[in-house]
Amino acid sequence: MSDVLLELKGVGKSYPPTVQSSKRLRAFWQILTRGRSEEGTSVLRDIGFQVRRGQSLGIIGANGAGKSTLLKVITGVLAPTSGTITRTGSQAALLELGAGFDSEYTGLENLRMNAAFLGLSRKEVDDKLDDILAFADIGQFIHEPVKHYSSGMVVRLGFAVVASVTPDLLITDEVLAVGDESFQKKCIRWIEGYVEQGGTLLMVSHNMYQVQKLCAHAMWLEGGRARAMGDVFDVTQRYLAWHERRDAEDVASRQNRPSGSICTVESVTLPDEEEGELRLAMGASLRVRVTARSPDERAPVVLVGLIRADGTPVYGVASDHDQIELTPGPDGRVELEIRFPELNLLPGGYAARAHTLDPEGLRIHDTREVAFTVTGRSRELGMVRLDHRWNVL
């Protein structure tokens, strides 16, 4: 399927001067007579791309790069100053969960209103009401005014409404970073399911892991322009590399450690590897060497996992699970090796994957992997040989 859901051509946006009332009046007059205002601060320039069905796009970039403005322009909340936007198919936006809620009304009334904004008819809402309420899971609070809600409840209700719509194109702005752990998981599961069922996502996120997981393509915005666009891994890696370089420049200029907040995986290698991919006999020992880099004197948490070639996780362990103390060297580097003395993986293609997490072990910052093959002759089934004894009774 290749139908285009969204197409932007040469889209630019500048915010008109709005503080001085004389300038406001002039802009007003210009819009009225010419349909546009002349002056302004430019925040987006010459953005053009297509989103095809099933090809989710992630938008990444530093703070202030124009990501949120771009989303507002795409959803129609803001009018572009130049260029054209063509939308086909249904579209739902989650610029902010619970946006458009009126705190005086009950959750149920807001739910209905929000659903109407998203284009659901009254009957459709009635049909889906049970699902929405089950998803939001806020119980009897649904009959209370929203002003009595905790922020988590607002978010849950907001997401539940959108989850009931299943649009052709779902636009989200960093909304997955809210709510408690279990609700976040629920949202991510829903979005993954939505993407798997052919839904298309246009998301802004600072979480490269999520972008890589959910999107096929990525666009890197920088100063209101598209700096890079294309395959998600390509773009996110260039983006992260750019961050690293910028951090490194900071180091050089201040004779100090990097101030960026990203712990990176510099390399993950298998020391037993000679040339090409490592081939390992079943039951042999495997060593995985990870070099991580921390932006400050706090050490990251390093997580090493083994996955099957198809991505099925087999086993993963993080340095903080085993209370391994890591101390970054003067250049912020941490080097460590993990050894699996008897790797009882059944023959097949595998990869060792290393992640760095922030020092609190909450967010994944970076990911790298290296592939290896387990060889052997075995007709056992599954992924791993479990210790076992047969007893004939």
**Residue numbers of the site for other proteins (CB under 8 A)?**
15-16, 18, 21, 24-25, 27-28, 31-32, 35, 37, 72, 75-79, 93, 95-96, 99-100, 104-105, 109, 112-113, 116-117, 119, 121-122
* Residue 93: both structure tokens together: 């936006």
Name which of 104 and 127 has its Cβ closer to other proteins: 104
- Give CA–CA dist 374/272, Å, rounded: 13
Burial class of residue 341 in the structure, from the number of CB atoms within 10 Å of its CB (0-12 exposed, 13-18 middle, 19+ buried): exposed
Q: How far is the CB of 113 from other proteins (least distance, A)?
A: 6
Do 142 and 129 contact (CB within 8 A), yes or no? no
Q: How far is the CB of 35 from other proteins (least distance, A)?
A: 7
Q: How far is the CB of 91 from other proteins (least distance, A)?
A: 9
Name which of 111 and 301 has its Cβ closer to other proteins: 111
Q: Which residues contact 219 (CB under 8 A, 6 or more apart)?
A: 49, 57, 58, 59, 60, 226, 228, 229, 235
Torsion over CA: 192, 194, 200, 201 (sign):
negative
Do 168 and 51 contact (CB within 8 A), yes or no? no
Q: How far is the CB of 79 from other proteins (least distance, A)?
A: 3
Q: How far is the CB of 83 from other proteins (least distance, A)?
A: 13
Q: How many C-beta atoms surround the C-beta of residue 304 within 10 A?
A: 21
Q: Is 112 helix (H, G, I), strand (E, B) or coil?
A: helix
Name which of 108 and 263 has its Cβ closer to other proteins: 108
Name which of 86 and 261 has its Cβ closer to other proteins: 86
Q: How far is the CB of 371 from other proteins (least distance, A)?
A: 45
Name which of 113 and 240 has its Cβ closer to other proteins: 113
Name which of 18 and 378 has its Cβ closer to other proteins: 18
